[in-house]
Amino acid sequence: MVRAAILPAVGSALEIAEIELPEPGPGQVRVRLAAAGVCHSDLSLTNGTMRVPVPAVLGHEGAGTVVSVGDGVTHVAPGDGVVLNWAPSCGSCHACSLGEVWLCVNALAGAADVYAKRSDGSDLHPGLNVAAFAEETVVAAGCVLPVPDGVPLTDAALLGCAVLTGYGAVHHSAKVREGETVAVHGVGGVGLATLQAARIAGAERIVAVDVSPEKEELARAAGATDYVVASETTAKDIRKLTGGHGVDVAVECAGRAVTIRTAWESTRRGGRTTVVGIGGKDQQVTFNALELFHWGRTLSGCVYGNCDPAVDLPVLAGHVRAGRLDLAALVTDRIGLDGIPAAFENMVAGKGGRALVMF
């Protein structure tokens, strides 16, 4: 039996309880968690913005040590450190055939499976495939990748979502070039990773935007050259900082209609806006036909940073080893399983960066 954070139903409070895990079957891996990040997507599962079968153990950003493996698993062995990959690609769908593995239509198929039992014998699903809010988990072999050399195991948890997403938004989706200007709207865990990625890309000016003035120090430590407290004049404020033009690239990390619209308006004519935040279906963003023509801006969505984790993790590890990427700086709270509800409350209140569950 292991302790886990269970979502009994959409809209209900998390329950910390013991669950029973099976031994790994063919093509499966059992992992003892070292750490798991508390991501806004986990909050979106609790309130129904994103839907998965329930009851479920949440948590999708984590790292740990392999306990045992099932038949046919050869790329990891007991004792290996691994990063959890919550969106493994199938390799055979249309998106995968195009090389767009981050859009794999089968990536979340495992979330519908029963992977564990509650103490009363009832079934449990693995939130977003990996059920990282637990002392141990059993996942498909495609959901684990070896921790690259030189990356501490607990820090490696952040690679599984926040850092891949922020890095990919800058390098794959927006394709930020050296000398460009960038605005990052929303300074949570993903936003902080995005700021670091913009700095790594060589952006000349990096503007961080958030509703909380208390996050300025965090943002500047991550690479922001300027800080703007979000208001009705945010787009104008950013244009003033950039000679009246607006930034070359805006990355939206909040998933709110007003923030997406503001991010788009904060870019120069011909600029690029990448939307990373996951918003609800009720968040409607509107544009008129004339402004779309006149401004010539690009607006694009970004899933999992448009990353291929197997390819991008070694690249990120290189930045960590070289001191360009500081994973520990993204963490503002280190908590236990019991601290997850409070971490959700801080998210809603716009406080802090990444909370990391330590096992």
pLDDT in tens, 177-196: 999 999 999 999 999 999 99
Note the pLDDT of residue 234.
Answer: 98
Note the pLDDT of residue 11.
Answer: 87
Q: What is the largest distance, in Å, between two alpha-carbon atoms of the chain?
A: 64
Are residues 192 and 285 located together in one domain of the fold? yes
Q: Any idea which of 9-13, 16-20, 315-319, 326-330 has the lowest mean pLDDT?
A: 9-13
Are residues 193 and 141 located together in one domain of the fold? no
Q: What is the percentage of the chain residues whose pLDDT exceeds 70?
A: 100
What DSSP letter does each residue of 218-233 carry, written as one string?
HHHHHT-SEEEE-STT
Are residues 58 and 115 located together in one domain of the fold? yes
Q: pTM score, two decimals?
A: 0.95
Residue length of the chain = 359
Are residues 111 and 52 located together in one domain of the fold? yes
What CATH number does residue 205 fall under? Answer: 3.40.50.720
What is the domain count for the chain?
A: 2
- Residue 127 is assigned to a structural domain of this protein: yes
Are residues 95 and 217 located together in one domain of the fold? no
Note the pLDDT of residue 200.
Answer: 98
- Residue 68 is assigned to a structural domain of this protein: yes
- The pLDDT tens digits of the residues spanning 161-181 come to 999 999 999 999 999 999 999
Local confidence band at 96 (pLDDT 50, 70, 90 cut-offs): very high
- Residue 287 is assigned to a structural domain of this protein: yes
- The pLDDT tens digits of the residues spanning 201-256 come to 999 999 999 999 999 999 999 999 999 999 999 999 999 999 999 999 999 999 99
Q: What are phi and psi of 130, to 5 degrees?
A: -115, -15
Residue 52 has pLDDT above 90, yes or no: no
Beta bridge partners of 4: 17, 134
Are residues 297 and 337 located together in one domain of the fold? no
**Distance in angstroms (rounded) separating the CA atoms of residues 146 and 135:** 19
- The pLDDT tens digits of the residues spanning 293-348 come to 999 999 999 999 999 999 999 999 999 999 999 999 999 999 999 999 999 999 88
Are residues 82 and 107 located together in one domain of the fold? yes
- Residue 348 is assigned to a structural domain of this protein: yes
Residues of 269-299 as b/e, b for ≥16 C-beta within 10 angstroms?
eebbbbbbbbbeeebeeeeeeeeeeebebeb
What CATH number does residue 334 fall under? Answer: 3.90.180.10
Q: What is the percentage of the chain residues whose pLDDT exceeds 90?
A: 92
Strands 226-229 and 205-210: parallel
Q: What are phi and psi of 141, to 5 degrees?
A: -60, -30
Torsion angle defined by CA atoms of residues 115, 116, 117 and 119, in that order, rounded to the nearest 10 degrees: -170
- Residue 152 is assigned to a structural domain of this protein: no
Are residues 188 and 115 located together in one domain of the fold? no
Local confidence band at 49 (pLDDT 50, 70, 90 cut-offs): confident
The predicted model gives 88-113 an average pLDDT of 96
Note the pLDDT of residue 50.
Answer: 84
Note the pLDDT of residue 351.
Answer: 87
Range of the domain at 215: 163-303
Other C-beta atoms lying within 10 Å of the C-beta of residue 264: 24
Note the pLDDT of residue 280.
Answer: 87
Query: Tokens standing for 6?
Result: 């269970």
- Residue 308 is assigned to a structural domain of this protein: no
Note the pLDDT of residue 27.
Answer: 97
Note the pLDDT of residue 51.
Answer: 84
Q: What is the mean pLDDT of the chain?
A: 96
Local confidence band at 357 (pLDDT 50, 70, 90 cut-offs): very high
Are residues 66 and 128 located together in one domain of the fold? yes
**Distance in angstroms (rounded) separating the CA atoms of residues 64 and 146:** 10
Are residues 298 and 334 located together in one domain of the fold? no
**Distance in angstroms (rounded) separating the CA atoms of residues 264 and 138:** 41
Distance of CA 353 to the CA centre of its chain: 12
> If we measure between CA atoms, which residue out of 32, 62, 46 comes closest to residue 357?
62
Residue 80 has pLDDT above 90, yes or no: yes
Note the pLDDT of residue 139.
Answer: 98
- Residue 318 is assigned to a structural domain of this protein: no
Local confidence band at 349 (pLDDT 50, 70, 90 cut-offs): confident
Residue 55, preceding peptide bond in cis (omega within 30° of 0): yes
> If we measure between CA atoms, which residue out of 254, 252, 261, 257 comes closest to residue 207?
252
Give residue for tokens 């709270």: 333
- Residue 313 is assigned to a structural domain of this protein: no
> If we measure between CA atoms, which residue out of 41, 48, 56 comes closest to residue 8?
56
Are residues 69 and 123 located together in one domain of the fold? yes
Are residues 289 and 219 located together in one domain of the fold? yes
Inter-residue contact 223 to 198 (CB < 8 Å): yes
